Structures are given as C-alpha cells and as structure tokens.
Amino acid sequence: MNKIFAIVAILAMLSLVNAGSIYDLNIVIYKNDTVELKNFSIREGSPGPFPDAGADNNYEFKIISRDGSMLFNQSFHLGFVAYRFRGPNSTEPDVIPYNRTEDHWRLPYFEDAALIQLYHEGKLIFEYGIMGSQKEEIVPSNGSSYVALDLTQNVTSNATPGAAPDTTPDAEKDGGMDIYLIFSYAFALFVVAFVIYRILGKPKSGGAA
C-alpha cells in the first residue's frame, strides 16, 4: 500500500512539473471596447481561469488556425464594477464602477494557431497575429476571408493608433518564466524527493544481534 501511495504521489507531482505550453496575453480591456496589449509570451503553465457568469458571459476569446478553423473558444464575464464591504454607518457606495481592467489571460497553445481574437457581445474588439505565422489569406469555413496580420504589425484593436506593441524578448523582460512557476516546480520536486525517502528509503528493522 505504501508503494502504491508513493507512485500516485510521484505521478501527481510530475503532472505539476510537466505543465504544458500556453499563450500568456497581458492586456488592458477598457469599458469602451478599447484593448491595449502590454505583453505576449509563450511559456509553461495551465490555461485559465476565466470568470464565469453562465448566460451573462459577455466576452469571448477565440484562437484561429492558419486555415481559418477555430481551435479554441472560451466565454467569460467582465462587469467593470467592484463591490465594497460597508460598515453600518458608512456613506460610501456599495458598488464602485471602473473603466478598465488589466490581467494576464492564459490560453492553450496550438502549433498551427495564427490569430487570437477577443469579442465583446459578438463584436471583434481585439486581434493578435501570433509570432511565427505568415502573412497569408485565411479562409474560414463560413466562406468569408481576411488577411492575417504582418509580424511587424500584428495587433489590431479599437485602441487609438499610437505606440507600437511591446516587442521586448521574454528573456529580457522576465527571465522567460514567472518566478512563481520556478518556486512551484522546486516545491514539487522537494515533495517527490521527500515521499521517495519516507516510503522507499526507510531502513529495514530487525535482524540485529
């Protein structure tokens, strides 16, 4: 039984260490449908999370392949309000509206992906041409067509034209991997080593004269 427990624990820890590749999209979403790209990278990790409000979800991510097919879609909800706990004599409002939200959105990686799109209530408000895809015509299954964005100008949104997207290499920006992932992997390896030592490395008792 101890050996079975050890095997299960090791497999669980290794599943954390061997995380898959994801797209990390750091964007600012404004209430007026302007979207600002802060950074884009491909790194190890897990997709999500996405705030879910069921039928009230009003935003959606889509990943489009080079042949125009949809590889991934995920709806989520943004309300642009914050809720505050009020004391019994407080005169401050319960709900605080705001005009923008910034977050890292983690999307699954696909080798043949060409575009990442963001929709608000069915309207395309942001599109990112993934690095490595060529400028070519993409023909979706519905018969319409559009052209993938050039690698040097691979962002479109409703933002006012201005500064170009941040193209600093990931290795220069954050070392190529978030620090919390490094600690997570180190902790997982420590737990695996500890389990092996405790379960399989105990000296056998008895037999001493």
pLDDT digits (tens, 9 = 90+) for 48-63: 999 999 999 999 999 9
The span from the CA of 91 to the CA of 94, in Å, is: 9
In a domain, 120, yes or no: yes
Q: Looking at the whole model, is its pTM more than 0.75?
A: no
Q: How does pLDDT run across 72-113, given as a tens digit for each residue?
A: 999 999 999 877 666 666 666 677 888 999 999 999 999 999
The span from the CA of 118 to the CA of 127, in Å, is: 6
Q: How does pLDDT run across 23-55, given as a tens digit for each residue?
A: 999 999 999 999 999 999 999 999 999 999 999
In a domain, 1, yes or no: no
Q: Are 130 and 138 in contact (CB under 8 A)?
A: no
In a domain, 80, yes or no: yes
In a domain, 193, yes or no: no
In a domain, 4, yes or no: no
Q: Are 29 and 159 in contact (CB under 8 A)?
A: no
Average pLDDT, the chain: 72
In a domain, 7, yes or no: no
For residue 88, the SS3 value is coil
Q: How does pLDDT run across 171-204, given as a tens digit for each residue?
A: 333 433 444 455 566 677 777 777 777 777 655 5
**Domain coverage including residue 159:** 21-163
In a domain, 202, yes or no: no
With a CB cutoff of 8 Å and minimum separation 6, the contacts of 77 are 51, 52, 53, 56, 57, 58, 59
> In the chain, what are the helix, strand and coil shares in percent, each to the nearest 5?
25, 35, 45
Closest CA relative to residue 119, chosen from 149, 75, 80? 75
In a domain, 5, yes or no: no
**How many domains, in total, are found in the chain?**
1
